[in-house]
Amino acid sequence: MSSSFSKYIDALLASQTSVSSLEDALRIVKSSSELVDTLDNPNITPAEKEKVVDDLFAPSVKKVIFDLSKDCRIDALEDIVTEYIHVLDKQSNVADAVIYCVTPPDEKQLEGIKEFICKEENASKANVEIVEDKELIGGFIVRVSGREYDFSLKSKLDKIKSQVMKTARESNVDSGNVIAVLKQDIKDFEYRTDGEQIGTVVRVGDSIATIHGLDHAMYGEIVVFENGVKGMVQDIKKNQIGVILFGSDVGIHQGTRVKRTNKKAGIPVGEAFIGRIVNSLGEPIDGKGDIKAEDYRPVEQSAPSIVDRKSVDTPMATGILSIDSMFPIGRGQRELIIGDRQTGKTAIAVDTILNQKGKGVICIYNAIGQKASSVAKLVNTLEKAGAMEYTIVVCATASDPASLQYISPYSATALAEHFMYQGRDCLIVYDDLSKHAVAYRALSLLLERSPGREAYPGDVFYLHSRLLERSSKLSDELGGGSITALPIIETQDGDVSAYIPTNVISITDGQIFLESDLFFSGMRPAVNVGLSVSRVGGAAQTKAMKKAAGSLRIDLAQYREMEVFTQFASDLDEETKANLVYGKGLMELLKQPRNHPLSLTDMVVTLVAATNRKFVDVPVDEIKKYQTDMLEYINSTYPQISAAIEKDKVLDDDIKEQIISAVDNYKKVNNG
């Protein structure tokens, strides 16, 4: 029942109004345009309208006619009569059906169709309306109680075409065997028709469709419009549902038919996706042909329970010295990368992907609302570094509908879960969740949900919590696989207390905060040591890195504090001067060019040399070159150091002494 008519239908049912009385009232209304103008005129008082109704209509329909006139909706009377008859028929176990056909059926065929309707709908009687539709070519379609039984020739031909196209895609069909394949497909084709639940579009706009008739649709279910466009149920009300479209709304209008699929939104998954670029629905967009799927996973999936998880104990090295030494990330962790626009957030994520080469980690980069040119540039970087061999790019660009941007991170996570439950490790980058929240806000406002803080809907926290909770380290019983998440959030003028940043900070296990002032001063990556933290990764940090980093974070904090207090001082003691030089050297060492991740050995050697003040006599502007040359010298001259660190991941006193000795030897060689 349409929600706009429900109160009138309820009033008619309560008064047990006869259909004949209602039809008589409709005839009276249709016979006089002057009467319609009077009852629909908002300037005429209710008392005057009531007098007109009393004079012309039977007592049993007076109340409904008067209510319609008060609402200025007397023109809806015909639809209300039709709906009322339908409701009464339903109560009397009478099925109302519409038959669409090219030529009307004869009496015998009509009786057979009525018997079929009564059997399928468990009805005692069937009322049938016949509508001619030349587009069906032959056969007929029966529509009854929101279900459709399609026996048309057009539908059979469409399904045969679909089957032939599927065979052509999945097998090697050439000009020599195409006729044989066609014959075999048509011979093997089995046409079955089951009652499909059908609804109709009430209104559509801005990639949102409101549908009446799909009373049993599930939240998150995929529905298909008659022009082939798919949508997902996102809003369920008493008499209608709201659907977000996964394509253009061109060709969809009021009255367009919509079909249920009884299937939740999902994405094909499999090994063949590695190295490919796909959209939010798992369809390839890189021009390299179809992808053979191994399975199909729902985009929305429950997160692993506490029992199914284990603690994070394996490092997920980024290859970035400032992060791996002070804010280490473990496999199964969720570490937020947060900062203003153009401060190097994506660069950190890309460096982390590049650093996974040869480590058995499958990387997924999820672009949400990015420019297509930016994504193409990033993919080019990954290809040049050979990283696309273990990377999947799931892309919903700024030109895609908000609906595709909304489901994009869930689709990417479903892909990652496929590998995680095989016992493999995955790294997933969400770039960025700020745009994801904006896309969801747009959809929610169009679906007429109540706006809250900053116009976001009330469930925007759940939007990201149910996504990020799916990243975890699985227990050994489930294979020990993991998903490590690097969500990215963009702040406005460094405001980490805004709505979305605080939400995601509270969901994640730490954050890397990138500061604009540091970035513009040349400190890149511009990691703010004071606001950045890793709440989990320390447990996964290698012993070598933990020991080498030592007091690095404290030393940097002391340097920055000392720098503030001494910037106006003219007379400094020698110890303060030495500490300032040491701190400046540390800051310079933490600078790292893009797309150049460091190995564990390089980072450990650098940190041991730095904390033992081996760079204090090197001019600040020469430190980076000095570091690069020193690492090349040590790796080539003392390979046993690298072998020992990479093998055992520990830094004992013997190796530490070897490193210090090697650094001193390099200094002698360099100075000589």
- DSSP three-state, residue 175: coil
Residue for token digits 């080498």?
548
Judge contact between 643 and 597, C-beta under 8 A. Answer: no
- Taking the C-alpha atoms of residue 214 and residue 211, their distance in angstroms, rounded to an integer, is 7
Written as six digits, the tokens of 72 are 């200025």
- Taking the C-alpha atoms of residue 434 and residue 437, their distance in angstroms, rounded to an integer, is 5
Q: What angle do CA 390, 392, 398 make, to 5 degrees?
A: 150
- Taking only Cα atoms into account, the Rg of the chain, rounded to an integer number of angstroms, comes to 34
Q: C-alpha distances in angstroms, 651 versus 72, 131, 359, 545, 603?
A: 84, 84, 21, 8, 12
Closest CA to 203 of 243, 170, 233: 243
**Among 449, 535, 553, 594, which one carries the catalytic annotation?**
535
- 143 belongs to the catalytic site: no
Pairing, β 241-245 against β 230-236: antiparallel
Q: Is the dihedral of CA 280, 281, 286, 292 positive or negative?
A: positive
Characterise 182 by phi-psi region: left (phi > 0), alpha (psi -120 to 50), beta (else): alpha
- Taking the C-alpha atoms of residue 487 and residue 453, their distance in angstroms, rounded to an integer, is 22
Question: Residues 34-73, buried b or exposed e (16+ Cβ, 10 A)?
Answer: ebbeebbeeeeeeeebeebbeeebeebbbbbbbebbeeeb
Characterise 158 by phi-psi region: left (phi > 0), alpha (psi -120 to 50), beta (else): alpha
Judge contact between 221 and 262, C-beta under 8 A. Answer: yes
Backbone angles phi, psi at 457, to 5 degrees: -70, 165
Closest CA to 196 of 211, 166, 217, 210: 217
Q: How far apart are the first and last CA of the chain?
A: 92
Residues annotated as part of the active site: 535
